[in-house]
A and B are shown apart, each in its own frame.
Chain A
Amino acid sequence: MQRTLILLIVAVALNAAAAAATGGNDLLPPQVAFRLSAQMAKGDEILVRYDVAPGYYLYRSKLKFSVESPAVSLGTPRTPKGSVLDDEFFGRVEIYRADVVIHIPVKLPAGAQSFTLVARSQGCADAGVCYTPLQQRIVVGPGMGERVPETPPGDGRSLIDSLGGDTAPKR
């Protein structure tokens, strides 16, 4: 039994070594590259956090938030200043490379403890690919949010509408 365990560990280690030897630069799924969490901060504000994996970045201007319940209303998100990317095609655009926390004012109906937030984002990998716009749903409550299983956005038009902003071509 013990021997089997050791063999298993060796096999895993060697596979990792093989992975490193061959480059080991898999592209992360966007939900992993741009990991979303959220929580109620005070009664009237939520904190939304993206953990951006090294080698990936999110466009500040592409972050959009909405709620599904008409009883919940969101204020204007306060997104922190990003770092400036001097893009060959789009000029100077603000991006987030590390973790970013966004403050969003919120009004909940009396007695409500949690609600579902819909977060839209768009980002790229330094490896030279950009992801199609990402829509993530998350339940926001007193603790860190629980991710709701990914569902494809129901409406392709609104997905595309969320594009635009400061990445418009400069020429």
Chain B
Amino acid sequence: MLSDEQILTALKQGDEHAFVQLVERHQGLMLRVALRYVRTRAVAEEVVQETWVGVLHGLDRFEGRAALKTWIFRILTNRAISRAEREGRVIPFSSLGDDDEPAVDPDRFRPEGAQWAGGWKTFPPSWDTLPEERLLARETLSLIGEAISELPDRQHLVILMRDVEGWSADEVCEALAISEANQRVLLHRARSKVRRSLESYLEPEAALT
């Protein structure tokens, strides 16, 4: 598979195959991002299409200082935001704090005023003793996939980009137009929730303590 940089070179030479590859690579995630801002799938699809047109318009001037994908997603985010504004929608990424659930159920810790307040009542066990196949089994992964899809929108996107797609923190901030701190909080909540789902699957008894 070509890297985004190789695609960029081919693209500037008018290589349709490279363009198709680029669209196929990013389209799914682009649609998800667009859906965070606009109401319907049809509108989101329009926003994605507009984005590709915008990419073609800007391609000659694109200097490659940002990664190609980051640049594309930034165009997408800008289009989606202005579309959402026209629809009279509040921009979901602009505010934080819709959910600040703790990473771990507070009941797992000794209560305030007790000796060792804030310490584990029972230590979480090590998962190192689990067979490798267990953690990465198809069934485990599909459970993780489910847990991710149930996350609130912004957490969902950030963990997808960071941990599934392997983007850097900077790339995600730039693509989604969010601050570093914001990105990190979303990532933290997302990862913490996925860990909890894994825990109740791998060691069901822990959920009962």
Partners in one complex: no
- Tell me the A residues contacting B by CB distance below 8 Å: none
B→A interface (CB under 8 Å)? none
